[in-house]
Amino acid sequence: MAATLHRLRSWLGAALAAATLSMACVSVAEAAPTPTTDGEVGAQIVGGSRASTSTYPWVVYLATSSGSQYCGGTLVAPNKVVTAAHCTVGDSASAVRVVAGRDDKNSTAGTVARVTKIWIHPSYTDATQGYDVSVLTLDRNLSQTPLKFATSADSALYAAGTSSTILGWGDTSSGGSDSRYLLKATVPLTSNSTCAGAYGSRFIATAMVCAGYPQGGTDTCQGDSGGPLVAGGKLIGITSWGDGCADAGIPGVYTRVATYAAQIQAQL
């Protein structure tokens, strides 16, 4: 279990790996750390820069009832958020909050919504097995503009070399501190063969897509799980897992949204 969990790009996964506990036994409230208060951002989020929810209104983050951020998400309808299954498995809806319109985690800007329902893909068991997708139903309609998500008609968006955007509030280096602010970066999608070369049989082409530079240096990391991978103005991926963060020859792995578009649509 621990060998898999250390790769998950969520606070929940990292905390559980360290404690060698089962996901189902630990709630997000127990696993998520307290956000940093020193304002440290620097020039990098593993190769990224500051971003604003005014530019990316659909990017949100998941928090515990006490306000600690632990995953990201994407608003795909006024009251629906797509995130990773490993961010929500084992948790009750009442334990999760969705925060929209807040760049700075230490501020009170934006809206904090409660979650009334958590849908997890019924075939999900582990992020490295695929099906790492979850849909949250909120207790209200948010004013932020939702983002469209990729369907089976959007296969061209998954071509190797496609420029994509990643966003999140997670670690600024592997094993480092989480960001106080929303950060973004641009990464190219890799080919399936490149990703399979890095991960072997753990990479499932129908369920996943990889993104990153051959030399590394830019990537999502712990705390970014569930957040968006965007190309062509659509959500094409969900931050899922990876070996380390931003290492050369080891791209990040994202849930291939188009594969699960019908199941996501059924929840809207």
86 is known as an active-site residue: yes
- Options 132, 178, 219, 224, the catalytic residue: 132
- Options 68, 164, 179, 225, the catalytic residue: 225
* Burial class, 260, CB count within 10 angstroms (exposed 0-12 / middle 13-18 / buried 19+): buried
Closest by alpha carbon to 83, among 223, 195, 180?
Answer: 223
- Residues 28 and 12: their CA atoms lie apart, in Å, by 6
225 is known as an active-site residue: yes
- Options 86, 134, 179, 219, the catalytic residue: 86
121 is known as an active-site residue: no
Strands (E) across the chain are located at 49-50, 59-64, 69-77, 80-83, 96-100, 111-120, 134-138, 163-168, 183-188, 208-211, 228-231, 234-241, 252-256
Two structure tokens written together for 224: 């970014």
Catalytic residues: 86, 132, 225
